Amino acid sequence: MLKILIADDHAVVRGGLRQFLADVPDCRIAGEAGTGMETLALIRSEDWDLLLLDIGLPDLNGIEVLRRVKHEKPTLPVLIFSMFSEDDYAMAALEAGAIGYLPKDSPPMEILAAILRAGRGERYLSPALTEKLLAGTTHAGLKQPHDCLSQREFEVMRLLSRGMSLTDIGEALFLSPKTVSTYRARILEKLKLHSNAEVTRYVIEHKLDS
C-alpha cells in the first residue's frame, strides 16, 4: 500500500485526488497539507512513500519545499503535480530532486501511471516533456537566486540573517571565522547583495529561516 501525502492549497484538488485514488488498491492518500510549512511538519512527523507536491503554495514556493524535503528525507520520492507550465518549472524541479513533473491537466490514466511509477521510485516525465528533453528544447526553468548556494553557504546565510557574528557562526558550524568570512563573501556575490542587513531582508522575504 502506497502511503501518499498531498500538498496543495486547493481543497478541491486534494479531495478530487483522494476520490480518484479511492478505488485504486495500491494507493492511499494518508495525509493532506495546504501550505509548505504544513508539508514540512508532516514530513518530519511521519514516514511517507510518496509526496505529491504543488508548486503554487501560499507560504513557500514548491521548489523551496522540495529542496528542504530532499535535504531532510533524501529517499522520499516527490512528484510535482502542478498547473504551472512544464517549460517554466520542470527542469528546476528535476534538478532540485523531484522524481517527476506532472501537469494537473494530464489525462486520468496518465496521472495514475505517474503516481504508481513515482511510488516505486521510478522517474516519471510526461510524454510532452520527454519529447522536449530528447529534442533538447527545454530550458533551465525558473529558479530563485539562493538555489545556486551550496548547503553550507545556505546554512551560513540563515545564521547571518539572525545577526550572528562570524565567530559565533564558526562555533555553531565548527568552522574558523576566516572560513565563515569566505562563505559570506560567496553568498553576497551569488545573491548580488552588499550587507548582512540585505541578507536578513532576503531571508525574510523568501521565508527561508524556518
Q: What is the CATH number of the domain that holds 156?
A: 1.10.10.10
Residues 108 and 185 in one domain: no
Own/partner pairs, 37-40, CB within 8 angstroms, 24+ separation: 37/210, 38/7, 39/5, 39/7, 39/65, 39/69, 40/65, 40/68, 40/69, 40/72, 40/210
> How many Å apart are CA 168 and CA 176, to the nearest integer?
10
Express each pLDDT in 166-180 by its tens digit.
Answer: 999 999 999 999 999
Q: What is the CATH number of the domain that holds 62?
A: 3.40.50.2300
Residues 175 and 88 in one domain: no
Q: Note down the domain range covering 158.
A: 145-205
Residues 153 and 97 in one domain: no
> How many Å apart are CA 12 and CA 10, to the nearest integer?
5
Express each pLDDT in 121-169 by its tens digit.
Answer: 998 887 766 666 666 544 545 567 887 787 788 889 989 999 999 999 9
Lowest mean pLDDT among 26-35, 82-91, 119-128, 166-175: 82-91
Residues 21 and 91 in one domain: yes
Does residue 140 lie in a domain region?
A: no
Residues 61 and 160 in one domain: no
pTM: 0.67
